[in-house]
Copies of this chain bind each other. A is one copy, B any other.
Amino acid sequence: MQYRTIIRILGLLVALFSVTMIPPAIVSIIYEDGSGLPFLLAFILCLITGLAIWYPNRSFRNDLRAKEGFLIVVLFWTVLASFGALPFLLLEQPQMSTTDAFFESFSGLTTTGATVIEGIDYLPKAIQYYRQQIQWLGGMGIIVLAVAILPILGVGGMQLYRAETPGPVKDSKMTPRIADTAKHLWYIYFSLTIVCATAFWVVGMNWFDAICHAFSTIAIGGFSNYDASLGHFNSVGVNVVCVIFLWIAALNFALHYAAASGRSLKGYFHDPELKTFFIIQISLVLICFSVLIQFNWFTDAGIAFDQALIQSVSISTTAGFTTTEFSNWPVFLPIMLIFSSFIGGCAGSTGGGLKVIRVLLLYLQGKREVDRLIHPKAIYSVKLGERALPDRVVEAVWGFFSAYAMIFVIIMVGLIATGMDDVTAFSATAATLNNLGPGLGEVAATYAEVSDSGKWLLILAMLFGRLEVFSLLVLFSPTFWRS
């Protein structure tokens, strides 16, 4: 293991991360909220620590293998999220415990969006801004991880998206070098954020709110600078803008990349994952709408449609914005929406969950098993569009699903062991493992009441979800640490 090369990279990352403390400091100055000092301190701490880690190892620049790739990915999220907790620890208002500070930071950087803070509306502007920005940075990290790194590492069948392999994303020919790919992806991500913020401003938000919500929309993070989340605005315009940009952010960024580089717009029209994604989205909206109408849940059909639209899109893409108490919606709607977050966004998006492509492949593979039983001697392959998938991808997707289910059960039983009730434990595990945010029961609004050990378990769930289970799971294998 090339430890010193890994440490060098980490040092650089932490030093770079220090820069992200400057914008909130500026926000503090603009709004004169008197909370600038913690960010200045955090900036200095990150910069010095980062450089101190980097300097003695600066000459270690060996080539890295897949093994080291996993370690860097895991350390990227755990180390940066830990340093990201600094402002929460240093702030006087709100006074946060160490556990709470880490929970909020990990929830932000993994774009989960579960919060332990009550009274967000009354926080200093700088810390309001900082929470949103950390989600946006996490979203950036995910795009690069999902589009450029996981296909190379081959996690959960994502070798499917490797640039060399033929198929749906073949035309997008991702720039081979990760750094270069990352630069292009960030450019798209940045542009989308600006367009989204402008759109929010056009439908009536002030610039501060527009930027804050654009950050958490494009990152599919779900943090808001209001306790009432999107519901604060009570505006159809805001909801519609949010839905449109959540849909854009929940698509594979490789498709956006292909479109942006002008090479092919038809990627959007020929992608089987995108098609499945919209079929699921529209079905969910229609089911929610018809049940709400049947129960006369809202005063008129227009409001019912607006709420059905924003809530089903927000939960199923794993954003987790709330505009109404959907957890009290009639009969099976709350649990259906929680289950829909297991599907989540497309691969290569900022969304969480299993990802649409994997659910589609599980369905196709299930269909193949049935066909095999009926005609035992025929040979069936799993096809995506015109393309037959190699067995290794098929097996990796199935392995992903099984591991996801196993982690789910372990974390849920662990939470109940800390004294949590069954429904809350179920939905809290789903909400963190799928990087969704809000759950049902005790955690429908905030996670403030969860015990400390429960919070650490949920942090673990967020990491497992965000790192596509296997990136973290490999570290638990003795084989990994054998040289």
Contacts and interface: CB of A to CB of B under 8 A. Distances in A.
Interface residues of A, number: 55
A27 B409 CA distance: 46
Interface string A364-382: 0111111111111000000
Contacts of A374: 66-67, 70, 474, 477, 479-480
A96 interface: no
A373 B331 contact: no
Interface in A314-338: 331-332, 335-336
A376 B416 contact: no
Given A362-B402, A391-B391, A373 B416 contact: no
A154 B391 CA distance: 19
A73 to B, nearest CB: 12
B417 A332 contact: yes
A335 B416 contact: yes
A480 B369 CA distance: 12
B369 A332 contact: no
A70 B375 CA distance: 12
Contact of A422 (B370, B423, B480): B423
A375 B423 CA distance: 40
Interface stretch (A193-201, A217-225, A305-313, A393-401): A393-401
A339 interface: yes
Interface in A200-215: none
A402 B422 CA distance: 23
Interface of A: 66-67, 70, 153-155, 331-332, 335-336, 339, 362, 365-376, 391-392, 394-396, 398-403, 405-406, 409, 412-414, 416-417, 419, 422-423, 425-426, 440, 470, 473-474, 477, 479-480
Contacts of A480: 370, 374
29 contacts: A66-B374, A67-B374, A70-B373, A70-B374, A153-B373, A154-B373, A155-B373, A331-B419, A332-B413, A332-B417, A335-B413, A335-B425, A339-B409, A365-B402, A369-B395, A369-B400, A369-B470, A370-B473, A374-B474, A374-B479, A391-B391, A391-B395, A395-B395, A395-B398, A398-B398, A398-B402, A401-B405, A405-B405, A422-B426
A474 B373 contact: yes
Contacts of A332: 413-414, 416-417
Contact of A399 (B398, B409, B416, B440): B398
Contacts of A70: 373-374
A339 B413 contact: yes
B369 A399 contact: yes
Contacts of A336: 413
A287 to B, nearest CB: 10
A70 B369 CA distance: 14
Nearest to A397: B398
Contacts of A367: 477
B331 A371 contact: no
Q: Which of A332, A373, A375, A473 has the most CB of B within 10 A?
A: A373
Given A331-B417, A339-B413, A362-B402, 7 more contacts: A154-B373, A331-B419, A332-B413, A335-B425, A371-B477, A398-B402, A422-B426
